Structures are given as structure tokens and as C-alpha cells.
Structure 1
């Protein structure tokens, strides 16, 4: 699977993607690491005429997200949504069963089959392991890899 590439997202796509990421974080309560990831994405992607990051992050639970709004998205945007939702779920260190189920529902709505979802999941795990691989304590990295694999 090719690595995720930067896209020029429209304001509507930035808003949808942010809402999808927030919906994943809300599954088991927004962790500070999830909020930081979502806030950073939104802040670096939003245009000047969009609401501020602080306004979007202020009360995410009241911003209802309808998965059906993602139907008809391009394949490239669908891949980005699923990858970013998986990264959001893992931001707190673990992908819960409820988060996985929610991201799978998003992927299904976007038209991604189970094999495509699993490939994205493997890609995100590989990127997480890659980010840790520079650590001098190989034993700790091995434990993290084992924990990621055990979450299935």
C-alpha cells in the first residue's frame, strides 16, 4: 500500500474529516493526545474563513456527525479519512474494539471493503512501529509491537 500523500483538501473535506476524527475520539472519550492530533490537523488544514480551531474543539460532543455524509467521496479522500481516523484511534496508545468498529463503519460507508480496511490498519501500525524504531531500547519496541498485534 502506498504511503498517504498530501492532498489539497477543500474546506468541506477538512470539515468532514475533522468531524470523522472527532467521532472516533468521542467513542471512548477524547484523550488529550487525540485532541492534539485533531487540533493540529484542523489548524494546519483550515482556511481563514473557517471556524477557529478552538471553536471546533470547544464542544465536539454537540457537533453531530452523520457517517452518511461521507457517501460518494472520492477513493483518495476515503483512504485519507480511514487512515486519519485510525491514527486518531491510536493516538491514545490503543485501538479499542469500539473505536475499531466505528472506523470500520466509516470505511464501509466510504465503500472500502474489509481487505482494504485491514491494509490501512496494517499501514498505521507500521507507521507507529517505524516512529518507535529509533529508540535504543529494542525490548520496549518489541513489547509495543506485540501489544499492537494483540489488539486484533
Structure 2
């Protein structure tokens, strides 16, 4: 789901830009799009609206990404955060704590970050990301036993092996 940006979102992005806390491509993104939610990709894939990013930085400060500070811009739905460095590099935390975060680089820039679901799951998924997984069959691993999580719906009396 993509939520269009409103004036508050655009104002928050401009405020982050004035403080040189946000990569230019994220400012451009937030001018049109407030947030993105792909709840059905893995544990989820969430890009926060700029007003949340601004609140985070005001309350907790920047996340250490080496020599500079980064912004928490979203999460993966499993407690790990996505952090954008001032140069545009996007990192994922390796633990849920942001006190002394261990980071893994996941993308060189916002565009590459937003293409991750498509590269991971294929272009058909990205185009049809709004389709409920239960209605799709192209993700089924036919080598798994019937009733296993990757084969299809579990049926009573079916055991996992």
C-alpha cells in the first residue's frame, strides 16, 4: 500500500532536509509518497512517513552509521530497522536495539532499496504486491509436503515432516 504525501509529510521532509539529515532522493520521494507498506513481503516491509522519521530524530537522535548519523526510515516487521545514511546508503539493523546498532548494508540508495522486494521475489510479485498470498499459487514449493507452510494451506490431520 502506498500512501500519498500530504502537506505535513512534505513539511517534515523539508525540515529534515534543512538540517542536512536526509538524503536528497528521500526528500524527493517524500514529496509525493508518505509511506509504503508491503505487509505480505516476508515479515513485512515498511517505509515510515517523514513525520515519524522527524519525531524519531527529535526524540532519540541519529543512529550511528560510522562517521555520521543516519535516520530510521522503516522496519521489516520483525523488529529490525532500516536506516538511511546521509549519503543515501540504506542499512538494516542486525538486532532490534538501536543503542549500539550493528548494521548491514542492504542498498546503495533509496531506489535500490525500493527494488529489493522485486529482486527478491520476482517482478510478478512487485506488480501484484497488493494481492493476498492465499490467492496466489506461484510461491508454492511443490517439493514440500502438503500442509507445510510453503506448500499451501494446512489441513487438519496433516502433520509437518
- TMscore range, shorter length: under 0.3
TM-score by length of structure 2 reads 0.25
TM-score by length of structure 1 reads 0.26
More strand by share: 2
More helix by share: 1
